[in-house]
A = this chain, B = another copy of it.
Amino acid sequence: MARIEDVAVRAGVSVGTVSNVLNRPQAVSPATRAKVQAAIAELGYVPHAAARALVAGRTSTIGLVVPEVTNPFFADLARGAEDVADEHDVTVMLYNSDKSADRELRYLGQLETQRVQGILVTPVRQVTGGMDALVARGTPVVLLDHPAGRRNICSVTVDDHTGGALAATHLIERGHRHIAFVGGPLTVVQVGARLAGAREVVEAAGGTLEVIETRGLGVAAARTAATDFARRPAATRPTAMFCANDILALGALQTATREGLRVPDDLAIVGYDDIDFAAAAAVPLTSVRQPRHQLGRVAAQLLFEEIHEPAQHGHRQVVFQPELIARESSRVPAHAG
């Protein structure tokens, strides 16, 4: 493969001049510039990023580690972060930890080894020792959709507690008093917070909140939960269901419908995330919307702030507020209106 020196020889100039053509073209006379560019084209020269990074001392990339690429929530987050990175002429390396703490740690290590400028990460569980060490060694890190317990790190989150409260308030206002929360594992911080927010509101209103913990947040989990639910005698069954995410909600909606329950007449459903599918469902789904793109943008901005002005950078915990999008799945049934 052609090196910069091959280009220099071919163009009859020094390597320094070739480097200048590449990095500060205006510092080179048009004539030599043309010669060099011709040589580059003829040889198919492609600069060697590692050599560049070595002398520069850093790469022009940041890392983004998410637990689930398939999830539109994280895809939008990534999009937001990429937009900001583009403005800074930095590229984003995307890694999918797939909810495995092992993979997460491995990827973080890899990113550090590569001397990325900084890292955006949605930790699988909590902030581990490995991550702390990384921060201590000087790599700027911003937590995405995960609160920073410590104050030595920035974080950008959406207020899940309020989100849960929003959903519950909405259902209470619609006249429901017996509500089910579906989601899990409850140890997942987001799930836990949504539940807590909902519980507060329901209890304050004198209602009861029944927790149906699932193993995960996928369609399969929804199906088993909803099947069991639908087969209970109507009298003991909550009249509304708040699901920890839309996938769960859609799964529940479909399964409940198949089991003969009418939504929202027999069962009102509220989801979380407002994914595209939510609005397009057989019964359009009421959902709690998070400013996901904005979340990614702000996280990246905080990261770049820390990268460029480490001195006067104060670590901040940014909290966004979610918004309830009311649709048909929680409409007040005609007979109750």
Stretch at the interface among A4-12, A44-52, A148-156, A170-178: A44-52
**Minimal Cβ-Cβ distance residue in B for A95:** B94
A-side interface mostly? helix
Chain A, residues 256-297, CB within 8 Å of chain B (1/0): the string is 011000000000000000001100111000000000000000
Q: Using CB atoms, name the residue of chain B closest to A276.
A: B219
A51 to B51, CA, bound (A): 7
Interface size in chain A (residues, C-beta < 8 A): 50
Q: Does A254 contact B (CB under 8 A)?
A: yes
Contact of A164 with B by CB under 8 A: no
Q: Nearest-CB distance from A248 to chain B (Å)?
A: 11
Total identical chains: 2
* Complex contacts, A93 vs chain B, CB 8 Å: 93
With A44-B136, A49-B114, A218-B276 already in contact, the answer to whether A70 and B59 are too (CB < 8 A) is no
The answer to whether A27 has its CB under 8 Å from any CB of chain B is no
Residues from chain B with a CB closer than 8 A to the CB of A115 are 48-50
Whether B50 pairs with A219 at a CB distance below 8 angstroms is no
A101 interface contact, C-beta 8 A? no
Q: Give the residues in chain B near A96, CB-CB below 8 Å.
A: 75, 78, 94
Encode A116-155 as 1/0 by CB contact (under 8 A) with B. 0000000000000000010011100000000000000000
Interface residues of A (CB under 8 A from B): 1, 44, 46-54, 59, 69-72, 75, 78, 91, 93-96, 109-110, 112-115, 133, 136-138, 218-220, 222-223, 250-251, 253-255, 257-258, 276-277, 280-282
Complex A-B: 14 CB contacts under 8 Å: A44-B133, A46-B112, A48-B115, A49-B50, A50-B51, A50-B52, A50-B114, A50-B115, A69-B78, A69-B94, A218-B276, A220-B280, A223-B280, A258-B282
